[in-house]
A = this chain, B = another copy of it.
Amino acid sequence: MKNTIKIGIVGLGRIGQIHLANIATRVKNAEVVAAADITESLLDFARRHGVENVSTNPEYVLTHPDVEAVVICTPTPTHVPYTILAAQHGKHIFCEKPLDLSIEQILVAKEAVEMANVQLMLGFNRRFDANFLKVKEMVHEGLVGDPHILKITSRDPNPPQIEYVKSSGGLFLDMAIHDFDMARYVMNSEVTEVYAKAKVLVDPRIGAEGDIDTAITTLTFANGAIGVIDNSRKAVYGYDQRIEVFGSGGMTQTKNNTPDTHEYYNDKGGHLSLPLNFFLERYAEAYVNEINVFVSSILAGENVPVNAHDGLMATAIAMAAKQSYMEDRPVKIEEILSAITA
């Protein structure tokens, strides 16, 4: 087994910087040897962390002979071409979600990766959060018995910029996709049917772009269980991320994480901390954990735990949810998949 792995990062925006800093300081057995961003000024961040090879050309990193694995943090439309290029040069790949908004493109990337015999891991970071991990483990260990009902609450503190909304693919493909992945992961079963009821209640500009900002999505699982996800683009009290699994043997649930555990009582009432503000705070440790798992999987020659198939299925559920919402009817995942492969 190799001792360390040399990593190249493409895309040095907010999430790219997090991954770079984590690998540089908190991930075992990995070092960042190359980094690229088309914006020259962002390269300073990499230089300050001692990255020797920096470039405004992503291809330089994706094909660099010293690089053994790449972390792709560029905008979504580049994910598939960069994945293919990296795979062709024999690099293992960690790619931020979503792999692509189109299932066809995901399948192209999946094939390229399989042909090149490299690993492709998707950044579904919540799988590596202590709360979600605990619930997943309890369910998989049988502590809730046969799962009957899954409930996920997933609400953002604020909607994204309208410009972002336009290109994001919409609430289901951009935001709820994390929840769809979590649903499959925790329940250890594929989703077979989706019904989504959605509204524009937060900001009419979101509706003007053809998107929605509030949704309740019912899921049916292959194992017979059912589930529901509620999403909102704006929770004034902060980032609300909770899960509950109910089954024949019991129920497990998690609460939000808070900056501290204080309770304060005065003549006005009792007071608690609000949840951690947003995903960068809430999932700070999850970001460290996911890269650690990526690195250790590669070094051990094992398959990564979140792959192109996972990306494909989460996207298919999101597309089914979107169609269900638009046509106000339940949509089977099979209907989505067969339309693609037909």
Contacts and interface: CB of A to CB of B under 8 A. Distances in A.
Interface of A: 24-26, 130-131, 133-135, 138, 143-146, 148-149, 151, 153, 155, 195, 197-199, 201-202, 214-216, 218, 220, 224-228, 230, 232, 234-238, 240, 246, 248-257, 259-267, 269-274, 328-330
A246 B232 contact: yes
Contact of A272 (B24, B146, B270): B270
Contacts of A25: 24-26
Given A272-B270, A273-B269, A237 B253 contact: no
A110 to B, nearest CB: 31
B197 A226 contact: yes
B261 A254 contact: yes
A263 B256 CA distance: 12
Contacts of A220: 197
A237 B251 contact: yes
B246 A266 contact: no
Given A195-B197, A271-B269, A262 B216 contact: no
A94 to B, nearest CB: 20
A264 B248 contact: no
Nearest to A252: B264
Given A26-B26, A135-B262, A237-B269, 12 more contacts: A131-B260, A133-B260, A134-B259, A148-B214, A149-B230, A199-B224, A202-B248, A215-B226, A234-B248, A237-B251, A253-B263, A257-B261
Contacts of A257: 261
B266 A143 contact: yes
8 contacts: A195-B218, A199-B226, A228-B230, A236-B248, A240-B251, A253-B264, A256-B261, A271-B272
A116 to B, nearest CB: 33
Contact of A201 (B24, B148, B216, B260): B148
A143 B263 CA distance: 12
B267 A250 contact: yes
A255 B329 CA distance: 33
A216 B224 contact: no
A270 B237 contact: yes
B225 A216 contact: no
A259 B130 CA distance: 7
A187 to B, nearest CB: 13
A215 B263 CA distance: 23
A264 B143 contact: yes
